[in-house]
Each structure stands twice: as structure tokens, then as C-alpha cells.
């Protein structure tokens, strides 16, 4: 039987998230790309939870 070389342990050393400096409401990209399909708009406008900061500023999507 041949010995299998031992691999070094893999460790996660950090986790980060990127926050863009520019933010958009849910409606802005739909309008910018002229998305008018009545099946698409409601899904994209209502599918994701609204971030807390957006709620505090009265944004609805």
C-alpha cells in the first residue's frame, strides 16, 4: 500500500463583505434597463428583503 502524503490543514482566516459606495433602489435599475415585463418587475421589486437602512429612509423599492 502506498502512503498518501498528508495535506496541510485549510483554515479560514478572515471573512469580509464589500459594500459599494453607490447604492440603488430596486426600481432604479429596472427603469434604467427599461424592464417593462409585468412578470419580471414584481419579482425583482418584491423578492429580496429591504435593508434596514432603506426602511429607515422610507424606501420601498
Cell 478572515 sits at which residue?
14
Band (pLDDT 50/70/90 cuts) for residue 24 is confident
State the residue range of the domain holding 35: 27-56
The dihedral region occupied by 34, where left means phi > 0, alpha psi between -120 and 50, and beta the remainder, is left
- Whether 17 maps to a domain, the answer reads no
Q: How many structural domains is the chain composed of?
A: 1
- Whether 43 maps to a domain, the answer reads yes
- Whether 9 maps to a domain, the answer reads no
Residues 30 and 45: beta-carbon distance below 8 Å: yes
Mean pLDDT along residues 30-55: 76
- Whether 44 maps to a domain, the answer reads yes
- Whether 47 maps to a domain, the answer reads yes
Identify the H or E element spanning 2: none
CB atoms within 10 A of CB 35: 13
Q: Which residue has the higher pLDDT, 24 or 50?
A: 24
- Whether 15 maps to a domain, the answer reads no
pTM of the model: 0.40
- Whether 6 maps to a domain, the answer reads no
Amino acid at each position: 500500500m502506498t502512503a498518501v502524503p498528508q495535506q496541510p490543514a485549510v483554515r479560514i482566516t478572515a471573512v469580509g463583505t464589500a459594500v459599494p459606495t453607490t447604492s440603488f433602489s430596486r426600481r432604479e435599475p429596472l427603469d434604467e434597463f427599461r424592464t417593462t415585463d409585468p412578470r419580471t418587475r414584481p419579482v425583482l421589486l418584491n423578492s429580496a428583503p429591504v435593508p434596514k437602512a432603506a426602511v429607515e429612509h422610507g424606501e420601498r423599492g
